[in-house]
A and B are shown apart, each in its own frame.
Chain A
């Protein structure tokens, strides 16, 4: 079964305490990305990766880091979280071959920074 798995699903943390949200896909997709969802703003892309060791900024990259050491994994790193990073985060894996794009989303990670 095609899956995008992200962890943790729910997290409350304190300002400045580094955290990592993991994301893993089992579809051998080259393209993966992270989004954050905020009320009234929809989802916005944070970072994306076209392949292993190839990452680039999306629309709202400030305060985040990513890495892509293996094709299946694309962790999102908050080095020093701040309250304005309280949000719902989605990892996505995209099949970019063939007609159109087929995008698979993880179930979301609710992050609260206090």
Chain B
């Protein structure tokens, strides 16, 4: 069965520092890959997604992610974090061609705290 692992439950970075959030998935082929952000008390906002093609994906709010097939990873990065980036981040995958094609499998989430 597919699974998504976000190894870091909680990360603290200083404002202006770079950020990398890790995501690993378990799936035989290349799934569709997503990163979502959830600010406190808010819904989910899509940051970026990967379906095929260029393995470096640009998203909103200055985020990017790189798909590495050999490592089954889809890590999220940002060169300079802003205080407003403090939120919970979810990596998710879906399985193209499955009978439940619209299903997303989410990681456990990583909470980002930004120090002034």
Contacts and interface: CB of A to CB of B under 8 A. Distances in A.
Q: Is the interface of A mostly helix, strand, loop or mixed?
A: strand
Given A90-B43, A90-B44, A101-B94, A96 B108 contact: no
B102 interface: yes
Nearest to A44: B106
Given A96-B102, A100-B51, A42 B107 contact: yes
Nearest to A33: B102
A42 B106 contact: yes
B32 A100 contact: yes
A43 B32 CA distance: 17
B100 A103 contact: no
Contact of A101 (B9, B90, B101): B101
A79 interface: no
Interface residues of A, number: 24
Interface in A28-77: 31, 33, 35, 40-45, 48, 56, 58
Contact of B103 (A41, A42, A48, A106): A48
Nearest to B111: A39
Interface in B71-116: 90, 92, 94, 96, 100-104, 106-109
Contacts of B90: 42-43
A38 to B, nearest CB: 10
A107 B43 contact: yes
A46 to B, nearest CB: 11
B81 to A, nearest CB: 22
B108 A40 contact: yes
B102 A48 contact: yes
Interface of B: 4, 9, 32, 34, 42-44, 46, 49, 51-52, 90, 92, 94, 96, 100-104, 106-109
14 contacts: A40-B9, A41-B108, A42-B106, A43-B90, A43-B104, A44-B106, A45-B103, A48-B102, A58-B103, A100-B52, A101-B32, A101-B94, A106-B43, A108-B43
Given A43-B92, A96-B101, 9 more contacts: A31-B102, A33-B103, A40-B9, A48-B103, A58-B100, A100-B49, A103-B102, A106-B43, A108-B44
